[in-house]
Structure formats: structure tokens, C-alpha cells
Amino acid sequence: MKSLVVSGYKSTELGIFKENDPRVAFIKAAIEKRLTSFIEQGLEWVIITGQLGVEMWTAEVVLDLKENHDINIALIPPFENQEKRWPDPLKEKYQELTFIVDFFQPLYKGDYKGPYQFQAKNKWLVEKSDGCIILMDEDNPGSNKYLYDIAKEKEGYQVDLITPMDLEDIVEEIRMKDPDYWG
């Protein structure tokens, strides 16, 4: 596998409204663990659309992984200025990201025009990648459902989920590494 899409819940879908929410560290640890495994198997590109939540956290993880691994990140938003309604600190973070990723190119020129842009984005992501990692609970998929359904339809396309159970396992792994856990 050479290219992999990473997506998942928006931060608001997870009830996370602050970047310093402790749950973010666990989510990032789960993403890092999964990505490291793929990188060790030859992954070259991680593709995100830059939505708030899992995708922005993935960008942070990949940028950290670049220090010790040969991995690239592409930011392919569905349209230009997707961040224009975001709070200023998140806008700034996104705009900075557009300059430091290895590749940045919106799918559509101009601002949001309609839901067809999101449908086209999901199809494009699946067509241009070898697989995906989606942080999702199959019982409550939220907006992830659209990408997930398209990905499942493509023959030979690898769909890898990070589930609530996977997150619980990561929390437990991290807690067990804490000496106070055993004391």
C-alpha cells in the first residue's frame, strides 16, 4: 500500500471543543500506532481533506512521524476556503498546515457550492488511494458513513477502522505505561 486516506469524526461529533482535551492525546496515539504499522510496510503518502478533528490530528501525527520516517502528507480539501467559518486559532492552524504539508490542492476552485463537492471528494479519495483508516463506530458512523460506504464498495480497497474498542485499548496501554498505575 502506497497511499492511504485517514478520516474520522469531526471534533464536534466527538464532543471535543478544545485542543487540550485529554481525549485528543488518546486519539492521536491510536492514529500513530496504526500509521506506523502501515509506514513499516511501505506506506508513502497519507491523504487528508483537513476537516477539524481526526484529520487535523492526523496531520499533526504525520508531521511528527516525518522526523523518523519517510512519509508524505497530502492535504486535499473539497474546495477552497473550507476553514473560513472556523474559529480564528483553528483557521490559523489550518492555513499554516497548507504551507507545511508535502502537497496541497483543493479539489474544486472557489468556495463551497453544494453537497456534490463532498460526494465528489469521497469518490476521488477512494479512487486515488489504496486504502483508508477511518476512526468510526459502525453503530454511529456520523458523517464518516459516506466515505465508508464508497470505500467498502471498491474491490480490493482496504478499509481499516479505529473503533471505540481500539481507543479503549490505547487508553489502557498508555495507563499501564504509567508507573503510578501499578503503585
Pairwise CA distance, residues 125 & 6, whole Å: 10
Domains plus CATH for the chain?
3-182 (3.40.50.450)
pLDDT in tens, 65-124: 999 999 999 999 999 999 999 999 999 999 999 999 999 999 999 999 999 999 999 999
Q: How far apart are CA 173 and CA 12, in angstroms?
A: 26
Confidence of residue 180 (pLDDT cuts 50, 70, 90): confident
Residue 182 reports pLDDT greater than 80: no
Q: How many helices (H) and strands (E) does the chain have?
A: 7, 6
pLDDT, tens digit, for every residue of 20-58? Answer: 999 999 999 999 999 999 999 999 999 999 999 999 999
pLDDT of 183 > 70? The answer is: no
